[in-house]
Amino acid sequence: MEHHPMRAEALRTLRLDDTPLMLSIDGQAREGESRFEVIDPATAQPFATAPEASLAQLDEAVAAARRAQPAWAARPWAERRQKLLALADLLLQDLESLAWLITLEQGKPLPRARDEVARAAAQLQRLVALDVPVETLREDAQGRVELHHRPLGVVGAITPWNMPLVLCVPKIVHALLTGNTIVVKPSPYTPLSALRFAQRAQALLPAGTLNMVSGGNDLGRALAEHPDIQKISFTGSAATGRKVMASSAGTLKRLTLELGGNDAAIVLPDADPEAIAQPLFNAAFANSGQICMAIKRLYVHERLHGAVCEALAQRAKAVAVGGGFEPGVVLGPVQNAAQHRIVLGILDDARERGARFHAGGQALDREGYFIAPTVVSGLADDSRLVAEEPFGPVLPVLSFTDVDEAVQRANASPYGLTGSVWGRDVPAAARVAARLEVGTASVNQHLWLDAQIPFGGAKQSGLGSEYAAQGLKHYMQAHVVNAPA
């Protein structure tokens, strides 16, 4: 297949062969011990290489962060805020190049990649507007008790491949705003945009404050085990999250884990199928279903089930799927070969169970890791597609007769990241939403995030939270000062 000219222009402008991206350690651009290939999921072919950091280089990055941390923590909060605001300007100034990199390495359409860079900058700006003031817990004749929050030290961050910048930049901001320094390891599937951002950020931050090392699973495990790191912030699958937790146990590190979702949405019998079809479709299929908080299970009252299936199927058949540089494309590929195989295996299981495919159900006949947007019904709750998080462009639509039954089935999952309820009677829908065992429950909306609202999962969807003052405090140590009168 002939690739779109915009892809060639992006590669030519970025000049990745001539100016390969580097590690960032102690304020310096450093070559790795070796380099590994980065695959374009739209072609299934390598288009660039990334530096593979050695364990010795990880030690150097942690040592640099440790040296830089006391002086960085000593700066006033307002000064740290201003330094970080300059990073938002950097993101916006470099938006086009970063977006090209995201489309090349992650696969999402270029307009969505531009949105990701802009959203990372916006989240940064909203996060740094927050403060964590000293709290007076008691003041009386006996004395004054204050609650302070102090930096932990060095934070290690491990970021995923579905949103290479928008899930990386906030971790950096949480750590640095609160007076910590940080060592980041981006996903080896999508390291380039994060490496570029960190490399350019070195001119704006003190040496050692932000370090970026790329590599594989061994590097991630070493980061989680490192004795000089006080906290790990990880976003990714629950299976990998358990490994991170186990690796961190030796030094009892603080943890923030944002893990899988398998999020449920419930459509009540008073909902208008045509009015909600597009928002439901967007919430399930955005980024080709590769969003932890996307709708993964849709429970629809039996009266509306057929109409909702048909409305979603129409949209699945009509949506433009293709390479991220092709004009008019809305959905891109699954990001990597391993995930592509997982999604196709889940579809095979659904087919064997006699599921009805209203749209899609197969890989597209083209190079790259493309799967047709798929709407499925007729599955039991113990099928793989319902019980597991597919993390691809696939949505099971399940029928229910009673709202209590729907809530029970939605809550039966070991996961509980977000959930939503859809209906015309908003107060009634809100009462149902309040019963969902999730970190965030919404009414007539699903995919939303605000950096000034805390976000975290229930059950096996994670530990702790990020965003808002509550999230910032997870990067700090509570410190009580009790002084007599």
Cα–Cα distance between 387 and 283 in angstroms, integer?
Answer: 19
Cα–Cα distance between 174 and 132 in angstroms, integer?
Answer: 12
C-beta of residue 390 within 8 angstroms of C-beta of residue 162: no
What residues form DSSP beta bridges with 356? Answer: 377
Phi, psi of 217 (to 5 degrees): -65, -35
What residues form DSSP beta bridges with 143? Answer: 140, 484
Cα–Cα distance between 86 and 246 in angstroms, integer?
Answer: 36
Cα–Cα distance between 476 and 472 in angstroms, integer?
Answer: 7
Burial class of residue 295 in the structure, from the number of CB atoms within 10 Å of its CB (0-12 exposed, 13-18 middle, 19+ buried): buried
Helix (H) / strand (E) element for 222: namely helix 217-225
Helix (H) / strand (E) element for 478: namely strand 476-484
Question: Catalytic residues, which ones?
Answer: 258, 292
Helix (H) / strand (E) element for 274: namely helix 273-285
Cα–Cα distance between 252 and 231 in angstroms, integer?
Answer: 9
Cα–Cα distance between 191 and 98 in angstroms, integer?
Answer: 11
DSSP, res 2: P
